[in-house]
């Protein structure tokens, strides 16, 4: 990773690793809850994620339409508000996220390796079906910024001379490696968390593989290192050195 610069204050608003498993054991909601509760640290709060599904049907014989709905617990989340770290466990996998104060990849990877060990224990997976890392970055952007060439190597251009600056844009690129085992998604655009807040420049990088992997810590870390390298290649290839000067 030495070919990429090290940022002392990276503009990351969320960094995550997501893993989907192929379970061989039937994990009930009650079992998953008990296992996740056992992992809870003193600083963490346990939350539920619920999935709502609705089905509507219209009869052809003139009878009244019918509707059914169902609410299921889809995941349990361990959230540490002080550190901004989140661990989410599902029946078929997990996600670990750092929502603030990200500084080192090794810390994020360590949380993911620990989560893999826990999930392996209760769902006995036969394989990893998807492994991903995603980094959402937000860089400062002036409302009066014209063409974004100073900040981005790829981005919008102002057509003609009638307009002076970009107010809003969205740009998405989906990439693949030669063997098609790994995909990368780059989302660029304007970013505003709420009306009235200053606008930022979103650089959202998502890299993932859907090639089945063995449930082995060594292979898990090896593929994560590959995803990390591609993620860095996309990010540092998309933004300019000038854009990163405030974060050195």
* Backbone angles phi and psi of 193, in degrees to 5: -75, -25
Supply the pLDDT for residue 146.
Answer: 63
Which candidate, 36, 1, 17, 10, places its Cα nearest to that of 206?
Answer: 17
Q: How far apart are the first and last CA of the chain?
A: 16
Instruction: Give CA–CA dist 160/202, Å, rounded.
Output: 25
Q: Which residues of the chain carry a pLDDT beneath 50?
A: 1
User: Which residues 6+ apart lie within 8 Å of 51 measured at CB?
Assistant: 71, 72, 73, 74
Residue with tokens 């204050």: 9
Extended beta strands in 37-126, E state: 45-57, 66-80, 85-90, 93-98
Instruction: Give CA–CA dist 66/54, Å, rounded.
Output: 11
Convert the pLDDT of each residue in 174-191 to its tens digit. 999 888 799 999 999 988
Instruction: Give CA–CA dist 16/133, Å, rounded.
Output: 6
Supply the pLDDT for residue 191.
Answer: 87
User: Which residues 6+ apart lie within 8 Å of 154 measured at CB?
Assistant: 171, 173, 188, 238
DSSP β-bridge partners for residue 234: none
pTM of the model: 0.88
Supply the pLDDT for residue 1.
Answer: 45
Q: Are 51 and 19 in contact (CB under 8 A)?
A: no
Convert the pLDDT of each residue in 190-212 to its tens digit. 887 666 667 899 999 999 998 99
Domain boundaries along the sequence of the chain: 12-247
């Amino acid at each position: 990773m030495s070919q990429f610069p090290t940022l002392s204050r990276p503009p990351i608003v969320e960094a995550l690793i997501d893993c989907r498993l192929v379970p061989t054991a039937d994990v009930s909601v009650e079992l998953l809850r008990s296992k996740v509760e056992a992992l809870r640290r003193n600083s963490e709060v346990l939350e539920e994620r619920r999935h709502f599904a609705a089905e509507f049907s219209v009869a052809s014989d003139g009878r009244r339409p019918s509707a059914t709905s169902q609410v299921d617990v889809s995941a349990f989340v361990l959230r540490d508000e002080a550190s901004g770290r989140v661990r989410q466990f599902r029946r078929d996998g997990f996600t670990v996220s750092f929502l603030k104060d990200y500084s080192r990849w090794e810390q994020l990877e360590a949380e993911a390796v620990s989560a893999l060990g826990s999930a392996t224990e209760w769902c006995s997976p036969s394989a990893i079906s998807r492994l991903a890392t995603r980094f959402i970055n937000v860089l400062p952007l002036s409302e009066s910024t014209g063409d974004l060439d100073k900040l981005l190597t790829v981005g919008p251009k102002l057509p003609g001379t009638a307009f002076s600056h970009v107010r809003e844009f969205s740009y998405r690129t989906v990439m693949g490696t030669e063997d098609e085992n790994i995909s990368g998604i780059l989302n660029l655009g304007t970013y505003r968390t709420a009306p009235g807040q200053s606008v930022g420049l979103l650089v959202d990088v998502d890299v993932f593989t859907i090639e089945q992997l063995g449930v082995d810590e060594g292979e898990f870390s090896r593929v994560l290192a590959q995803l990390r390298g591609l993620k860095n290649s996309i990010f540092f290839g998309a933004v300019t050195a000038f854009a990163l000067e405030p974060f050195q």
